Structure 1
Amino acid sequence: MQNKGLVRIFAILFGLVCVYQLSYTYFTYTKENEAEAYAQQKYPETVEDYSKLRETAERDYLDSIGKEEIFAGITYNYAKNKELNKGLDLEGGINVILQISVKDILRGLANKSKDPSFNQALLATDEVQKNSQNTYIEDFFIEFEKIPDAKLASPDIFANKNLSDDIIYDMTNDEVKPILRRKIDESVTSAFEVLRKRIDKFGVTQPNIQRLGESGRILVELPGAKDVERVKKLLQSTAQLEFWDVETSQELGGFINAANLKLRQELEADTKKDDGEVEEAEKVLDSAQVDTTQTSEDAAIENLLEDAEDSTVTEAQVNPINDLINFPLVPGALFSANVKDTAQLGAFFRRADIRALLPQNLRYVKFAWSKGKKDAEIIDFYALKGNRDNEPELSGGVITDASQTYDQTNNVVVSMQMDGKGAKKWEEMTERAFNQRSQIAIVLDNIVYSAPGVSKGKISGGRSEISGDFSVEEGKDLANVLRAGKLPASADIIQSEVVGPSLGQEAIDSGVMSFAIALVLILIWMIFYYGKAGAFADVALVVNILFIFGVLAGLKAVLTLPGIAGIVLTIGMSVDANVLIFERIREELARGKSQVDAIKDGFNNALSSILDANITTGLTGLILLVIGTGPIKGFATTLLIGILTSLFTAIFVTRLFIDGYGKNGKELAFSTPVTKNLFKNVNINFLKKRKMAYVISGIIILAGVGSLFTNNLDYGVDFVGGRSYTVRFAKDVVPTAVEKDLVAVFESAQAKTLGAKNQLKITTKYKVNETGEEVDAEISNKLFEALKPYLTDGLTYDEFSNGDEDKQVGIMRSMKVGPTIADDIKQAAFWSVLGSLIVVFLYILLRFRRWQFSLGAVAAVFHDVLVVLGVFSLTWKFMPFNMEIDQAFIAAILTVIGYSLNDTVVVFDRIREFFNEHTTWPLDKNVNGALNSTLSRTLNTSLTTLLVLVAIFIFAVPLRGFMFSLIIGVLIGTYSSLFIATPIMHDTVRKVGLKTKEKDTEEKK
């Protein structure tokens, strides 16, 4: 090896850099352990809610020592920002994908147009999007074009005064489209920046926020975040701050009575239907219908109002509104009501026929509920002075600064400062409210936070404040949201994952355990098989691990549980390079070469196979990195880093140790007495057995494909959409009994044991097409009620939904995937597998210059994938671990592809070498000779890889399905390289060769 000194210096410097990068993780780890010990001492387990108190104490301790120097100017705060990032599955936290509503943006750009063509296209687009791979805007253009003579540049749509600088009336649809695309992109960028500003102030370390393509989706990862509801409010709040005058007209009392009477008449009509008086009831209902556009019916409204004023209601009568409302709690409110009745009352007042009962001068009134105090059972209902455009006199766009502070009674409030224009308008509004002795409602996202009166005249300077029974955290979040600005459109959570911190710690423990055991097994095996040379390979392997973690820390990559699996798998596969080298050296020694020459030739001869094998695996990893998301991306990152570092350590670091040992004439056997003659005189006729292998493979594939059509696969929510919960119970539970109770509530639900018998994975498609906090809360409540018989007595809903850290029960992990994004994940999975096959086919064609080699390799890969899918289809119903088909499974399939190709390419490389060396040998002899010469390497690599996978399978419970697919893949990949890829290559080469000979004979004749 040339330039040994340079390689040695580079390896040492690179190692020191990796140690330096990892030192930050060590510093944060030691300080956080100190904080944990301090909190445990301060709050023992005998204290009520000790876990929450410990959490606060740990945070306070770390805040207090955050700026203290630990070593050489490094503080905890600095080290925390530089440490190795851990993913949600290792640290716990929240991961969401937000869909910024392009529909809302379009409606905003069109000034909320009521044009029939525009709204028809929006409705059609909503329907198409459920099964479409296009972006919302592209589908909108398609649906709009279907409408005859529809023009985007219509004055009633996009050729309005707000877009007059960009869109003019005589533009064609094709001219308007790029402008709308740009405007939408600007709005999504604005939303991204608003969310980024909110998250920056949220208080979690190492948050991750990124745009996902051009779809209007934004990924947000908050490792360590625990308050799910707080995060959802922070992310989904549009921060639509508005200031409205409160309407206190006495006529509203008459309106409420009229609305109550109308609804009561409907109830009486329903009762008459039950008594057989259907026709009379319909007449009553028809007479009560009011169309505000027909002035001829104004008298009907007046009569109904008079009837409401004159009517006397006995206690026996049912009053749909009056029975649910009380006197208002605060001045200015219309009435108050119980929180549980607000949905029903709100629905009444949104009805067009009820609103039609409003007096003419109050037709544009806007109704809104108050925020209410924490845990309040009663909240207030306000009527706000509206207008034709339904826009407030003053909006939150004038806010220049906001901060959490305290009022004179030491209650938390949010203080705001307005710009000059806003200050002037605020002065006008407060002066009017003072003169009229009325209130001004401060409304955020359609909720009245406060409605203060003005007691000392107009307010100058543009300062105001919001009160609302806030906690300090709520006040800070609201101020943060207002400073960041409002979202340009609503943001729906279409995919979410919440992982509890205890589950994350368990994942770390199982990952470290599997990692340690796999490493020890490989180190022992290498020494057992190759003696001192194996020990040198072990040192290189440890250096390789240091490099992998150092590079991960330096690149600020995120370490996930699949990422740990990728590292451990890389360790198993990196042994392959050393095995290839050592096997070639043993061959050269057997030919009688000196040790120096054997080492030199062994490294040189193995290099081609090592590079080809790692490049093919690297190509599949690269496709995973580009197309994959979340855990797949983490797996691909560690796999690619591991491939690069293992190449360096196997080719250069191992060589340094071996050359250094032998420079003084010391002999290195590259074997032990037990393994010295192993596989030495093997002479198996592999090609003779190929027909039997074809039959066996054919039977397995047919059985698997048949099962795929009849038994199908166990698709996870990643691919079909829905909600998934990992729920832990205090005692063991029977999944079939739990599932029965869940089906009674959700109609469709599954419950499967996940790891221990007291932990279930529960999935449901209930309301899979609906989004919003209300739906999430409804499903979570239903889940709690259905599982109550199996939960600890006294466990509250909050403890259940957030995972009780003290009792280690409740929802430990939850995931939601909308049907649209599930469809996208399926498409990405398909293209990633197909893309990897195409890329590898072309690479092998380029390297071996014969399409027969590419055909054999790809046929073997198809064979392996079909076998793995078939095994999963045949066994998922009775296996005692989770075998769902999800994104991690696709990563496993691509890894199987990479491994199979790795094995096949090494065999093909040796076959090509035999072709060149033994030109006079017949084809069968060359192929069989090459297969026998690589048998030791093939079995050695497969065994070490299997040792790794089995270790992870045993100890990493959440990854068992993932590991099972890899174990099957390694076994079948080893088989296919010998009995599928090579025979197919052989048969096609022979056929082409025979045809060529026949053609030559005919030409001679």
Structure 2
Amino acid sequence: MLYFSPWKTVLIWLAVLAGILFALPNLFSNTALQSFPSFLPQSKLALGLDLQGGVHLQLKLDRKELVEARLESVRDEVRRLLRAEGIGYTGLSGRGQNVTVRIRDTGDVAQAREILDPLTEPVAAGLLGGGIVREIVITEPEPSLFHVEITDDGLDYRMAQAVAQTVEVIRGRVDELGTTEPVIQRQGTDRVLVQVPGLDDPERLKELIGTTARLTFQMVDVSTPVEDALNGRPPAGTEVMFSTDDPPVPYLLETREIVTGENLEDAQAAFDQRTNEPIVSFRFDGTGAQRFGRATQENVGRPFAIVLDNQVISAPVIREPILGGSGQISGNFTVEGANDLAILLRAGALPLTPTFVEERTVGPSLGADSIAAGEIAGIIGSILVVAFMFLAYGFLGFIANIALIVNVILVIAVLSGLGATLTLPGIAGIVLTVGMAVDSNVLIFERIREERAGGRSVIQAIDTGFQRALTTIIDANVTTLIAAVILFYLGSGPIRGFAVTLAIGIVTTVFTAFVLTRWMIAFWVRRQKPKELPKAPITLVPSGTAIRFMWLRRMTFTASALVVLVSMALFATVNMNLGIDFKGGSLIEVQSKEAVADTGDIRSRLSSLNLGDVQVQGFGSDRDVLIRVESQGAGENAEQTVITKVRGELESDYEFRRVEVVGPTVSGELAQAGTIAVLAALLAILVYIWLRFEWQFAIGAIVATTHDVLLTIGMFVVTGLEFNLSSIAAILTIVGYSLNDTVVVYDRVRENLRRYKKMALPDLLDLSMNQTLPRTILTSLTTLLALLALFFFGGEVLRSFVAAMIFGVVVGTYSSVFIAAPLLILFKLRPGALDRDDSEKAATARTQAVDLDAG
């Protein structure tokens, strides 16, 4: 296996060169990249909102509003069709998804059935519905009575249409802002996701995309005083609307719409030449110009109203016919307000009023701090890992470090090539990959040492070490990859970024550890022809170590069982510090514009806003404050009101660095998705280990991993750390790491079962534990070094996530030795092995195996 043909060598280094070329653009500015030759890769990693600042919004369209609008539309259509044919009817009403109408004359029933029948014609849903959809079904429960029912399939089709139209309208509005690379996409059946990097004015964006912007032109009814309409009932065909003035002015308007915003061809912000005030000039298309011209020609001297979202913007009097198809809207606009209204009118109206169910805003200053913190943590973590590998393996550690550097380059190259977005959890994934990538090299090097201690030559030891480590490397990394894949499909936002980074890191780790490292060692062997393996400056686990782990199993089982029971009891009785991801509410990070933030003053100022439970605490430096406001429990829009009130109270003295708002709908979905993610990961890994090993191994691995998950949850309860969406990612990564460690141990147990067929199972497990102990300690220490760098230098946002990871690594290492392995005895892995009376033979076999291991 140490021979590499020339073409294999070329392919290996071409892959490394390609990785360097795809990663290189990240070192240059966009301006510098323009001077690069066109054949070179120029795509860079896109920075997530948490690194460069920006706004993440999730909007929900209300199905109930769609039903009401569709019901009114169908009712009006039924009325129009019957009136057009002069058919008398009574009792026309709508309720739920049904419109009911009774035909007065039984002789007209057949004709009514005929003219209403076109409503039931199916529509081709195309890509939106995937086939033919029947929107309307008409039944006659009794003579002369028609039930016109709107079907669920029809509503699903209309909702799909509404979501698609909303995406396009919002895209048109956001593009007008001139922001770079916004993301506007459909999410689920009734949601739209909007991400705008680099935007520092979330309130303007919310107002811009949350406004329905339905523009109508309607005549003002001057035949009846508006006060009479307010005190009584408006005359038929009229309605009362209020202006945008303060205080609002009521107007009595005809419900008939002269023309709507759908007939607008263009709208631009401008200035009135007489008053120099900001206005919005507009121009109708041909149909709109004709309708507007005819209406103004017939109503000279009467006022007409320009209505936006059921509010009167202005109500000028028609002095003369407006036949040119253009006009202007005035209404005490600011320059920005006029520009925003023009954007809204150009992009068109939204089909339904959206509700903001989730908001995550990161200010540019916090984004810059996050980038700096991530870079520092990455550099420190890498230096610690590189130094530790050299101390543990000497020259072989130097080779492993080259492989690690190439590994990171390949991860960045793949992310850049895919056009992926790098988030703060993504940086954590890269740093964690650096720590976990050491595991494969450690497995190989420890195997090589064992084979050399067993009497093989250096070349034979290296060759056999790589061969025997391959299966363990694949098994160990596949379990982590399963967790990453499930995290990607069930996670959202930055968590998916973490999963992508981790998954790519696993694949590149296998390549660099088993292909690149093997090539470099083969090259060294051919050049140097060594007689002995390189010596390491330090030895963490002396050769010949024979710790009796299984002798301790009763104590460790008892202790672990007690701790797990305590964790479950605490979880059931003590309220976990759930973040807003799971219980809804608002989280706001502010930074004082002065020297020091006054938390007491903030608390007293916010307590007067009647927001319920408000928590104010220091966060990081003495200028930073974290504010948590409980869920308002009054619908999705109530959470947005919280942010508006807090901004109004604190914006003059504090910079808003981060805002997260999660409504009750999203929080419930996130909690459910997180639970499903953990259970799905455990189930998938259970099946994999069952197929690769025996059922005892699969059950043992799941029990040990469940032990780790329960203890980690107990840690969150005891420490009071916030449990949020990132914590689910931490738990799933712990699942992968713990199983990685357990699979390595189990792989050695399986190998020794074949080698020592008559050795007592406890003795065999002790032997396996001692043989894998150097790898267990080295991998845990390198991973902890990377995580500690993140904990101390990665910033406050990641601290709870990394703390859970550190705890998980320690507990996972413990469980793979003291829980997973002893469970094989409990499950009677090899029946009869414990009942042998020949203890002397067992002791002799153990002594021989230890002596062989010690060389």
| Offset at residue 733 of structure 1 (A) | 5.2
CA distance in 1, matches of 2:833, 2:17: 59
Whether the 8 Å CA contact 1:107–1:113 is kept in 2: the answer is no
Note if 1:901 corresponds to 2:735.
no
Note if 1:185 corresponds to 2:146.
no
CA distance in 2, matches of 1:990, 1:361: 87
Normalized per residue, the structure richer in strand is 2
Which of 692, 708, 711 is residue 867 of structure 1 equivalent to?
711
What letter is aligned with 1:218? V
- 1:522-554 CA deviation, whole Å, 9 max, x = no partner? 111111111111111111111111111111111
* CA distance 1:223–1:151, shift in 2 (3 Å): closer
* CA distance 1:668–1:725, shift in 2 (3 Å): farther
Match of 2:657 in 1: 812
Note if 1:913 corresponds to 2:788.
no
SS in 2 for 1:170: strand
Whether the 8 Å CA contact 2:210–2:354 is kept in 1: the answer is yes
Whether the 8 Å CA contact 2:183–2:195 is kept in 1: the answer is yes
* CA distance 1:680–1:671, shift in 2 (3 Å): farther
SS in 2 for 1:111: helix
SS in 2 for 1:760: strand
Match of 2:351 in 1: 488
Which of 280, 301, 304 is residue 440 of structure 1 equivalent to?
304
* CA distance 1:400–1:5, shift in 2 (3 Å): farther
- 1:91-126 CA deviation, whole Å, 9 max, x = no partner? 1110011001111111121116899xxxxxxxxxxx
Aligned residues with identical type, % of pairs: 36
Of 668-677 and 859-868, more deviation after overlay is shown by 668-677
* CA distance 1:812–1:977, shift in 2 (3 Å): same
SS in 2 for 1:763: strand
SS in 2 for 1:89: helix
What letter is aligned with 1:989? K
What letter is aligned with 2:240? K
Match of 1:28 in 2: 29
Match of 1:682 in 2: 545
1:64-213 aligned within 5 A: 69-72=34-37, 82-111=43-72, 152=97, 154-155=99-100, 163-165=119-121, 166=134, 167-170=136-139, 176-213=151-188
- 1:933-969 CA deviation, whole Å, 9 max, x = no partner? 0000000000000001111000122211111111110
| Offset at residue 74 of structure 1 (A) | 11
* Runs of 4+ deviating beyond 6 Å: 112-115, 159-162, 171-175, 994-997
Match of 1:938 in 2: 776
- 1:187-215 CA deviation, whole Å, 9 max, x = no partner? 2222222222323333221212222222x
Whether the 8 Å CA contact 1:88–1:560 is kept in 2: the answer is yes
* CA distance 1:485–1:847, shift in 2 (3 Å): same
What letter is aligned with 2:259? L
Q: TM-score, normalised by structure 1?
A: 0.73
| Offset at residue 654 of structure 1 (A) | 1.1
Note if 1:385 corresponds to 2:253.
yes
CA distance in 1, matches of 2:165, 2:294: 31
CA distance in 1, matches of 2:831, 2:252: 85
1:278-297 aligned within 5 A: none
1:412-561 aligned within 5 A: 412-433=278-299, 435=300, 437-460=301-324, 462-470=325-333, 473-561=336-424
CA distance in 1, matches of 2:139, 2:237: 37
Match of 1:924 in 2: 762
Match of 1:829 in 2: 674
CA distance in 2, matches of 1:482, 1:367: 20
| Offset at residue 972 of structure 1 (A) | 0.4
- 1:684-709 CA deviation, whole Å, 9 max, x = no partner? 11111110101111222222222222
1:679-828 aligned within 5 A: 679-729=542-592, 730-732=594-596, 739=603, 742-743=606-607, 745-765=610-630, 767-772=632-637, 776-777=640-641, 779-782=643-646, 785=649, 798-800=651-653, 809-828=654-673
What letter is aligned with 1:169? I
* CA distance 1:537–1:778, shift in 2 (3 Å): closer
SS in 1 for 2:357: strand
Match of 2:106 in 1: none
Whether the 8 Å CA contact 2:359–2:662 is kept in 1: the answer is yes
- Which runs of 5 or more residues in structure 1 are unaligned? 32-67, 116-148, 256-353, 373-377, 786-796, 801-808, 877-882, 998-1005
* CA distance 1:160–1:976, shift in 2 (3 Å): farther
SS in 1 for 2:321: coil
CA distance in 1, matches of 2:264, 2:401: 63
| Offset at residue 894 of structure 1 (A) | 0.4
CA distance in 1, matches of 2:729, 2:642: 34
CA distance in 1, matches of 2:242, 2:756: 88
| Offset at residue 455 of structure 1 (A) | 3.8
Which of 819, 827, 846 is residue 988 of structure 1 equivalent to?
827
CA distance in 2, matches of 1:965, 1:173: 57
Whether the 8 Å CA contact 1:620–1:836 is kept in 2: the answer is yes
What letter is aligned with 1:980? I
| Offset at residue 659 of structure 1 (A) | 1.0
| Offset at residue 18 of structure 1 (A) | 3.7
SS in 1 for 2:542: coil
| Offset at residue 597 of structure 1 (A) | 1.8
CA distance in 2, matches of 1:481, 1:622: 40
Whether the 8 Å CA contact 1:769–1:819 is kept in 2: the answer is no
* CA distance 1:734–1:689, shift in 2 (3 Å): farther
Match of 1:118 in 2: none
SS in 1 for 2:548: coil
SS in 1 for 2:726: helix
Match of 1:240 in 2: 214
| Offset at residue 562 of structure 1 (A) | 0.8
Which of 178, 193, 207 is residue 219 of structure 1 equivalent to?
193
SS in 2 for 1:438: coil
| Offset at residue 488 of structure 1 (A) | 1.1
- 1:226-271 CA deviation, whole Å, 9 max, x = no partner? 111210022111121111123445734x64xxxxxxxxxxxxxxxx
Whether the 8 Å CA contact 2:241–2:312 is kept in 1: the answer is no
Whether the 8 Å CA contact 2:220–2:254 is kept in 1: the answer is no
Whether the 8 Å CA contact 1:367–1:383 is kept in 2: the answer is yes
What letter is aligned with 1:222? V
* CA distance 1:761–1:992, shift in 2 (3 Å): farther
SS in 2 for 1:366: strand
- Which runs of 5 or more residues in structure 2 are unaligned? 77-93, 103-114, 122-133, 141-146, 837-855
* CA distance 1:161–1:393, shift in 2 (3 Å): farther
